[in-house]
Structure 1
Amino acid sequence: MIPSPLRIAFAGLAHSHPFTDARNARRLGAEVVAVCDADADAATDFADRFGARVVGSPAALITHRPDVLVATPRPDEIVPLLRAVAQSGAVMPVFFNKVVAATDAQLTAWESALDDVRAPVGTASVLRFAPALTRFAGDLAEQEIIGVRVHAQHDNAGFQLPGRAWQDDPVQGGGTLVTVGVHAWEMIDRIVPGARFDPASGWSRRSTGATTRSEDAAGVDGLLRRAEGGQPIPVQVTITGLSGPDRYSADVLTARGLHTVELDVGAANEQLGFAGLVRALLEEAPSERVPAPWAEARAVVANTIRAAGFVRDAQESGE
């Protein structure tokens, strides 16, 4: 049971997720109290839809004393937002929609800014909350995993729109290998929690006539190494931003056989984890906790960046 009414605020409207989050929050009885974004028209539209107040800065947002803050800023707005939270001394949970860092430099800046934040901070792809993936990972928890293969497909046409083109930029927002790839690494982390990815080979391409600034298809192979040691697990990841329907699937080979999961993209709100994310946020907030806290989420972000960098370096060197 979710205590209500909880007060939720939104910092940044860089892509579509906060609109879905706000709808789900209201369905669950939460009150959307405030929103801020550099785009005043977008903030006003959001406020009109969800009964929120538009404010001019993250600092002003925090004065409304939300129970939980959902952040979806552009990459260059992430560190200033963390600093505003730190300076406020607030302890309400803060959840960042993906992507919080697309490069090693952005990851370093993110972690440096986090050092001064008292509030619990989390981040994840929504797929972490997909019920079928949760069940799948649970069924495998006691099994010896021999190998993993994952495919994440999400049409990247939306990332090329004028207001969202930063997502297609490998340096600023990560391009397909990060923006879509984070979903693949989130799935892998649910199956093999906390493992570090060591890449061995990779490839990427842009199809003839493709308009993306990054890649429309890529793949990387390597080993997953658990922090506690043990036999490394071979992993194969395919990431595509081709036109057509989304697809998120995983094949896991264990000593007992082959196990497969494919998420139902036709029921995205529930089955891809959008509803589950907000439900988890509202359940954890009264205890000043956040789902996917950074200590657990870091492996996903680091693996996403490591894989993307390896593939692009290999492509540039002609390997």
Structure 2
Amino acid sequence: MTGTPLRVAFAGLAHSHPYSDAANVRALGAEVVGVHDADAGAAEEFALRFGGAAVASLDLLTALRPDLVIATPRPHDVRGFLHLLGSGDAPVFVNKVIAPTGARLAEIDRVLTASSAPVGTSSVLRFAPALVALAGQIGGEDVLALRVHAQHDNAAFQLPDRAWQDDPRRGGGTAVTVGVHAWEMVDVLLPGAALVSGSGWTRTRPGSTSASEDAAGIEGLLRVPGAEREVPVQVLVTGTPGADAYGAEVVTAAGIRSVSLDVDGDQDAVGDQGEGPNETLGFRDLIHALLDAAQRGATVAPWGESRVVVANTIRAAEIARSDA
């Protein structure tokens, strides 16, 4: 980046991603100008660590006139956040999960219809270098089938201050909170593909304290824009103990290609800098893309394109849970 540093504000500190995001914002030459969270103490600590002002409201945050807002609200706060942030001038990017249920998705649609600011959302995996490279390799090929797996230990979702993530109604549960990564990978490989039908299942391991599920799976059909026929897809979502692991296997008319995004340790517990999740899972590349877009007054993964991922994630969870 050259010239005056871009000014980035953070709205909400619901989980760990803003901390990695803020470290990458600074590493890439931009400036953290402010942060707001309902937990004033957490906002103060964030400001001391990354710079900027801890402010008491979203109105005061927008008054700082940031060039970009990175929002990480709890799902029940998303509508209010977008109502206020979407009426400003700065592009807004919402870290997952933006909507855990179909009813919440309908609320987001209504709010964003009246939004004047560009709003985007995605899983960080959209920017994972190896996944992006695989998408480039299969571009233009006839995809016959697709299989993806997203694994993220759900133990952190059961901690007292994050239990909302484990609740299917409040945060989405494992099938949504981890599942969004799987459906983001699907969209990177088959842009715009919509889940039109399927069957599925869920499982909870003996002794688990999860309020949702430890594993969920679905076999379905994807309607891909411009394709002559629907593409079969298998999606496995797991929240079992162990390291993060994300992978995809694509069967094309030219052969089988695959990608594996394995990370040692929990992505929510690693440091802000260096290799691991920061590079492998796309945390650094996400912020690079956001800053580039913000210079044009735009965002990455705009709602008109990213909505299909949210809808697929919710629909897949509904199918798996109803079949179970």
TM-score between both structures, scaled by the size of structure 2: 0.95
Secondary structure of the 1:263 match is strand
- After TM superposition, the structure 1 stretch with the greater mean CA deviation from structure 2, 226-235 or 25-34, is 226-235
- Aligned equivalent of 2:298: 289
* Counterpart residue number, 1:303: 312
Structure 2 partner of 1:71? 71
Counterpart code for 2:186: I
Asked whether the 8 Å contact 1:14–1:73 carries over to 2, the reply is yes
Q: Assess if the C-alpha contact under 8 Å between 1:126 and 1:272 holds in 2.
A: yes
Contact 1:157 1:243 in 2 (8 A): yes
What CA distance in whole angstroms lies between the structure 1 residues aligned with 2:2 and 2:282?
A: 17
CA displacement at 1:229 relative to structure 2: 4.3
Alpha-carbon shift at residue 199 of structure 1 (Å):
3.2
After superposition, where does 1:60-209 map in structure 2 within 5 Å?
60-86=60-86, 89-209=87-207
- What does residue 275 of structure 1 align with? 284
2:62 and 2:130 mapped to 1: Cα distance? 35
Deviates more, 1:127-136 or 1:43-52: 43-52
Q: How much has 1:184 moved relative to structure 2? A: 0.2
**Aligned CA distance change for structure 1 residues 220 and 210 (closer, same or farther; 3 Å):** same
CA distance in structure 2 between the aligned counterparts of 1:85 and 1:113, rounded to whole angstroms: 11
Q: How many residues align?
A: 313
Partner residue in 1 for 2:249: 251
Instruction: Give the drift of 1:198.
Output: 2.2
SS in 2 for 1:215: coil
Q: Residue type of the partner of 1:170?
A: P
Partner of 1:31: 31
- Do 1:121 and 1:290's aligned partners in 2 also have CA atoms closer than 8 Å? yes
AA of the residue aligned to 1:32: V
Secondary structure at the aligned position of 2:199 is classed as strand
Q: Report the CA distance between 1:91 and its aligned residue.
A: 1.9
Percent same amino acid at aligned positions? Answer: 55
Task: Decide whether the 8 Å contact of 1:4 with 1:29 is kept in 2.
Answer: no
Contact 1:147 1:233 in 2 (8 A): yes
Give the CA deviation at 1:16: 0.2
Q: What are the superposed Cα offsets for residues 50-86 of structure 1, whole Å, 9 maximum, x if unpaired?
A: 1121111111100000000000001121111111124
Report the equivalent of 2:5: 5
Contact 2:244 2:262 in 1 (8 A): no
Q: Offset of 1:3 from its aligned partner?
A: 5.4
Deviation string, structure 1 residues 110-137 (Cα, Å, up to 9, x no partner): 1111111110000000000001000000
Amino acid at match of 2:123: S
Measure the CA separation in 2 of the matches of 1:43 and 1:223. 44
Kept in 1: contact 2:151–2:239 (CA 8 A): yes
AA at the equivalent of 1:121 = V
CA positional deviation for 1:168: 0.4
Distance 1:70 1:206, change over 3 A: same
Amino acid at match of 2:297: E
Contact 2:126 2:282 in 1 (8 A): yes
Q: Aligned letter for 1:196? A: A
CA distance in 1: counterparts of 2:198 and 2:289, whole angstroms: 36
Tell me the C-alpha RMSD between the 2 structures: 1.1
> Could you tell me which residue of structure 2 aligns to residue 48 of structure 1?
48
The letter for the 1-side match of 2:284 is: A
TM-score (norm 1): 0.96
Structure 1 gap segments, 5+ residues each: none
State whether residues 219 and 237 of structure 1, in contact with CA within 8 Å, keep that contact through their aligned partners in structure 2.
Answer: yes
Is contact 1:36–1:54 with CA below 8 Å preserved after alignment? Answer: yes
Q: Any gaps of 5 or more consecutive residues in structure 2? A: 265-275
| d(CA) in 1 for partners of 2:2, 2:285 | 12
**Matched-pair contact (CA < 8 Å) for 2:243–2:262:** no
Q: After alignment, is 222-231 or 101-110 more displaced?
A: 222-231
Q: How far apart are the structure 1 equivalents of 2:295 and 2:152?
A: 34
Question: Would the aligned equivalents of 1:3 and 1:283 in 2 still touch at CA under 8 Å?
Answer: no
Query: What residue identity is the alignment partner of 1:275?
Result: R
User: SS in structure 2 opposite 1:291?
Assistant: coil
| Aligned AA (1:234) | P
Q: Give the letter aligned to residue 323 of structure 2.
A: A
**d(CA) in 2 for partners of 1:224 and 1:4?**
45
Quick one: distance in 2 between partners of 1:2 and 1:192? 35
Question: Whole-Å Cα distance in 2 between the matches of residues 2 and 270 of structure 1?
Answer: 23
